[in-house]
Amino acid sequence: MQHSSPPVLSEPGVRRIGFMNLYGLWTLYLKEVRRFNKVWLQTILAPAVTTLLFMAIFALALGGSGRVTAGINFERFLAPGLIMMAIIQNAFQNTTSSILISKIQGNIVDVLMPPLSPGELLIGFVFGGITRGLLVGAAVWLAFFLAPGVEVTISHGWTVLYFSLTAAAMLSLLGVLTGIWAEKFDHSSAVTNFIVVPLSLLSGTFYSIERLPEAWQQVSHFNPFFYLIDGFRYGFIGRMDGDLGAGVAVTLGINIVLWIVCHQLLKQGYRLKA
């Protein structure tokens, strides 16, 4: 009597899904989008209102519509910087809060257990942050478009698209890095208060760096947020303080480095796998 050989089983942990788990990736992305969309008054509308208040304070309380910066109406100069600042802050907050809250509540395992590679996890988190950042940016742009006396017409569409996507991706990656590293909300608040907000405010959002002393102009070129805001503003007003090619190269290089670091940390399970 012949005995059939036992079935050959795959090694534990070997995924048999294919090149990419598109269904799982789409599910993670939807989770990230629905998470902030459920409280859209807080995550989408509130940042737009706050940005409008910035415009009212700086454009009206500090001199009215007659002010000129770099030969351009101040409101037109200011609006792109405020839009970019909203994109930056909200993309960062989305990925940071998602990972950190999951760690604190103890359900981060629900994200790590499914058959998703570190790259797929990173794509899901980052695209969720990009979506929130761009939605907030679009809401702020629409508010400025409808506001009297504020011109936000686009002159160079590709630079607006590139730098908005690059900024949202950069801060989403930084948010992932912060969420992995942080063990409590104080840690993420420290990154926000001592890195994200200062770099945003000192990047030329409210002024042209040409008004700064030469030494401080050089310092500004070491701020990656300067290239994001400067390139984004160029798409609206056709003028920039720096070099467009340098801005593209610097921001792309930073995103590549952040991607590699975040991917390695997710692959190792750093501060995620207890």
pLDDT tens sequence across 43-80: 999 999 999 888 888 776 665 556 777 678 888 899 99
pLDDT per residue as tens digits for the range 193-209: 999 999 998 898 888 88
pLDDT surpasses 60 at 86 = yes
118 occurs within a structural domain: yes
Give the pLDDT band of residue 212 (cuts 50, 70, 90): confident
Q: Token digits for 132?
A: 């929130």
163-192: average pLDDT = 96
Provide the whole-model pTM. 0.90
pLDDT per residue as tens digits for the range 12-32: 556 667 778 999 999 999 999
pLDDT of amino acid 99: 96
pLDDT of amino acid 12: 52
- Residue 20 vs residue 174, higher pLDDT: 174
122 occurs within a structural domain: yes
pLDDT surpasses 80 at 175 = yes
Radius of gyration of the chain (CA): 22
Residues 254, 170 contacting (CB under 8 angstroms): yes
10 occurs within a structural domain: no
Which of 7-11, 114-118, 179-183 is least confident? Answer: 7-11
28 occurs within a structural domain: no
Average pLDDT of the residues of the chain: 89
pLDDT of amino acid 6: 59
pLDDT of amino acid 16: 65
Q: Residue 251: which domain range?
A: 40-268
35 occurs within a structural domain: no
What's the structural domain count of the chain? 1
pLDDT surpasses 60 at 231 = yes
197 occurs within a structural domain: yes
pLDDT of amino acid 14: 60
Nearest to 44 by CA among 54, 33, 28, 31: 33
105-115: average pLDDT = 89
pLDDT per residue as tens digits for the range 145-168: 988 878 899 999 999 999 999 999
71 occurs within a structural domain: yes
Q: Could you give the count of Cα atoms lying within 13 Å of 48 in the half-sphere of its Cβ?
A: 22
CA distance 221 to 203: 9
30 occurs within a structural domain: no
CA distance 228 to 240: 11
Which of 7-16, 32-41, 101-110 is least confident? Answer: 7-16
